[in-house]
A and B are shown apart, each in its own frame.
Chain A
Amino acid sequence: MDESPVTEAVATDSTAGAFEPKIVAFLCNWCSYAGADLAGISRIQYPPSIRVIRVPCSGRVDPFFILKALQNGADGVLVSGCHPGDCHYLTGNYVARRRFAVLNDLLEFAGIDPGRVSFSWVSAAEGERFAEVVRDVTEKVRQLGPNKKLLKEEVA
């Protein structure tokens, strides 16, 4: 078989010069990570803003992970797990949802702009939805601009 030639990828990087946020995304292995895989398999295009950290379950996501990301300079954080009732570990996302609710409200209270930290449920079959969530989260963070609150300034 002839190995086909590399298709030319046209350099049309969009939004050149605009603020490109870095968003840390914690995705559960079974649903949202699989949803991201499906977005890939389906070639659904979305902004190159997220950096995925795979976790077994949204229940694994410690509030520390989220705050640490903001502290270290992430412009946004996305946490995504299975839809309620779909958790591979039965109830991990229910447990997580209470914790996320408290964190979400507490961060809002503390003046962290809404949209800086987002939560979503994306199933393994929702490739398009995953892309939509990333687009949406990216747009929100882009509107907010670079994260300054909680950012740990480099000690010279």
Chain B
Amino acid sequence: MSREEQLRKRAKELLAKKEVVMVICYRAGKRPGTATPAFVTRPDGADSLVFDDRCGMNLAAYLPRVKHLGRIAVVAKGCDSRSLVTLLKEKQVTRDQLLILGVGCEGVKEKGKLSDACATCAYPNPVICDEMIGEKVTEPPPAPDPLADFEKLTPDERWQVLADDVSRCIRCYACRQVCPNCYCPTCFVDTNSPQWVGKTTAESDNMMFHLMRAMHMAGRCVECGSCSRGCPMGIDLMRFNRKVAKIVKERFGATAGLVPDEPPALAAFDPGDKQEFIQ
């Protein structure tokens, strides 16, 4: 039985026995070569579920919106499982609300080639799950630092590259929509009094948005790449996320989405934290 068949069978079973009220997985998208999230509540719905290298969306993103329904089964790749850990840390779901169906992942294809985020993935297998569907995949060797070249540029060059990139942002907030970390009732871009971020797409406002978005990802983002893949303007959003993940790792020795009981890196401190940047 293929992994996909196993998955359908198990989903059907869980729904039939009413062990869960919903299974979140994927189904084929309307456009060929794409997949879209599927929310199945009836056993017969499980037949259309798919899982392969088209399935990039981070399914953890949907949990806060459906958790009130009852226990939910989620299909989780390495990155999805880490996002679930972030949500558990932040008490957006409880462990008993979840049934995690783990799947190993060899990377998501985007327009025929391996997605950028997946090229550097260090956790292709779920870090937390209730049962594995199929086998775990081999852990890849550590990838070279994807930011190395960019960081070699001068400050002015870096600013220019980022400014050019974010200048294309049309503020559609697709990145926010697909991100499991974005569950605030009101996003900071939508608040007034004070209105911290201007609503225009001027370079300054766009940069403010993306820098603050990155700040909010620090210690939480698991680098699944959903935002970059979801951006209609092709902005390299992962560059920001990778940077904050790197900072948090280097400075505080923390990696997001691994241990549910540990507080997020920015909700903790160590009196011995490095402070060479402070006069």
Q: Direct contact between A and B in the complex (CB less than 8 angstroms)?
A: yes
- Chain B: how many interface residues by the 8 Å CB criterion? 46
What residues of A have a CB within 8 angstroms of the CB of B278 in the complex? 97, 100, 119-121
Q: Which residues of A contact B188 (CB under 8 A)?
A: 64
The chain A residue sitting closest to B266, CB to CB, is A98
**Complex CA–CA separation, A97 to B162 (angstroms):** 26
* Cβ B269 vs Cβ A104 within 8 A: no
> Interface residues of A, CB < 8 Å — how many?
41
Contacting B266 at CB < 8 Å: which of A99, A109, A118?
A99
Task: Choose among B153, B163, B196, B202 the residue with the greatest number of A CB atoms under 10 Å from its CB.
Answer: B196
Q: Is A51 among interface residues, defined by CB-CB distance under 8 A?
A: no
SS class of chain B's interface: helix, strand, loop or mixed? Answer: helix
Which of A106, A137, A152 has a CB less than 8 Å from the CB of B205?
Answer: A152
Question: A94 touches which one: B157, B162, B273 (CB < 8 A)?
Answer: B273
Q: Does A44 contact B (CB under 8 A)?
A: no
Given A67-B212, A150-B204, decide whether A111 and B275 contact each other with a Cβ distance below 8 A. Answer: no
User: Chain B residue with minimal CB distance to A109?
Assistant: B243
Asked, given contacts A84-B271, A95-B269, A97-B275, whether A71 binds B156 with beta carbons under 8 Å apart, the answer is no
Assess whether A112 is interfacial by the CB under 8 Å rule: yes
Q: In the complex the two chains form, is B151's CB within 8 Å of A98's CB? A: no
| Interfacial residues, chain A to chain B (CB-CB below 8 A) | 63-64, 67-68, 71, 84-85, 91, 94-95, 97-114, 118-121, 133, 136-137, 149-153, 155
